[in-house]
Amino acid sequence: NKSKNRFLSIYPYDHSRVKLPTDEEDVSDYINANYIDGYDEKNKYIATQGPMPTTIDDFWRMVWSENCGKIVMLTNVLENAKIKCHQYWPNEPENVLTSRHLEIRVEKSLHRSNYVLREFKLKQTKTNEERTVLHFHYVTWPDHGVPSAPCLIAFWKAVNRTPVSLNGPMIVHCSAGVGRTGTFLGLDVLVSEATDREKVDIFKCVSNLRRNRVNMIQTRKEYSFCYEMVKEHLDIEFIKKNLS
């Protein structure tokens, strides 16, 4: 499966890897993706690498088979003249991307200062079943850095408050699916913990993330940013509570 890994050092652990359906002879069950637990919910997320030309079909197969309603993308397609992720959706509403037995259309796009929200319509050509999948694309995360905490929290809130009809895991990816992806998932887990317990254990959170996917939260800067994000969120909630 080497050709399906964006980086040779980033691979999915066997115990938590997503296995694709193999109901056709010419397909593999392999994708570089892992189930990740939420604060109090098993397999709440799927962390994965950014799709490559050789894995776009696998990516969409995962979206469909796992009944996913939200995709969070934390990288741009191109950063500093380097391809970080292959574009896996069509550019225009009138265009259709065909991926094996799926047709993918962009129904509409909403552009905000730090992200783009796209609504995808997926159609299974064998059965004509259609599903709506929301694509939250954060576009201002600096390469090898961290974004503004208030901006990322605003994005996180937009992701969480937008309802979807599908109840599968939320897919989160960047390029390798470990640094930015781990940081975003850390925010979601830690805010849930803070809301429930009024305290957080960031070391334990990162350890749990790394138990299910290699190298989650890669750098000291990303680890420190987890503290900053939690503090920012709690400050905002404290102000709101005292103003109400």
- For the ranges 43-52, 66-75, 96-105, 194-203, the lowest mean pLDDT is seen at 194-203
pLDDT digits (tens, 9 = 90+) for 117-153: 999 999 999 999 999 999 999 999 987 789 999 999 9
Residue carrying structure tokens 């470990």: 178
pTM: 0.96
pLDDT digits (tens, 9 = 90+) for 96-118: 999 989 999 999 999 999 999 99
Query: What is the distance between the alpha carbons of residues 226 and 81, in angstroms, rounded to a whole number?
Result: 28
* Of 109, 107, 137, nearest in space to 120 by CA: 107
Annotated domain spans of the chain = 2-243
pLDDT digits (tens, 9 = 90+) for 55-110: 999 999 999 999 999 999 999 999 999 999 999 999 888 899 999 899 999 999 99
Q: Evaluate if residue 26 carries a pLDDT over 80.
A: no
Residues present in the chain in total: 244
Instruction: Please report which confidence band the pLDDT of residue 227 belongs to, taking 50, 70 and 90 as the band edges.
Output: very high
CATH 3.40.1080.10 fits 2-243, yes or no: no
